[in-house]
A and B are shown apart, each in its own frame.
Chain A
């Protein structure tokens, strides 16, 4: 159980392009999903917390106009990297918790990640 699907796995595109990444909870409903970014050989960096039906909560230093998050349903959150540039190239990973696994202490389950390369 608690499967999180992320799409696409790889994106290669030109500078200036906007890229949308989808994160789906397949066998549970997730009111909250999380978006991380990870540069090579570095730790996970939480970018934002996606809340179903409301605005996302962004971490300090993350540009909300650059990284648009939409959580329109209980099973889908999307991250759009707008006007992407080479410095946005990274590994983007989403995660979600299954609220039925235990209030407050359930682990996060990760999607497979999206490797974004901006030329």
Chain B
């Protein structure tokens, strides 16, 4: 069974700090990796997609992928209270019929 694991948290960081969110996955054939943010009572919204090993930066967000270690992370620099949400890691194989497997999410709280 393909699995995606995340620490459930809550992860608390002070405003302005770097928040580090981690995710591991079991399927070595996974090719596509996504981070979603979900505010309480809302649906998930896509933050980042990453497909190759290494870092990918978009504004305050950096996704890091290490396929050999089956590990993907999300760094949020200069964390703001508005970043407080649950962050979902999602993983998918290459084939179009492969399902996206979501992790349970990590709850992040940014303290002013």
- Listed in ascending order, the chain A residues whose CB lies under 8 Å from chain B are 6, 34, 43-44, 46, 49, 91, 93, 99, 103-105, 107-113, 115
Contacts and interface: CB of A to CB of B under 8 A. Distances in A.
B44 A110 contact: yes
B31 interface: yes
Contacts of B41: 91, 115
Nearest to B104: A43
A104 B51 CA distance: 12
Nearest to A42: B104
Contacts of B43: 6, 93, 110-113
A32 B75 CA distance: 31
Interface residues of B, number: 25
A103 B31 CA distance: 12
Contacts of A44: 44, 88, 102
A9 to B, nearest CB: 10
A44 B36 CA distance: 12
Nearest to A49: B99
B99 A105 contact: no
Contact of A104 (B36, B49, B98, B104): B98
A105 B104 contact: no
B25 interface: no
Contact of B34 (A43, A91, A99, A107): A107
Nearest to B102: A44
Contact of B95 (A104, A107, A110): A104
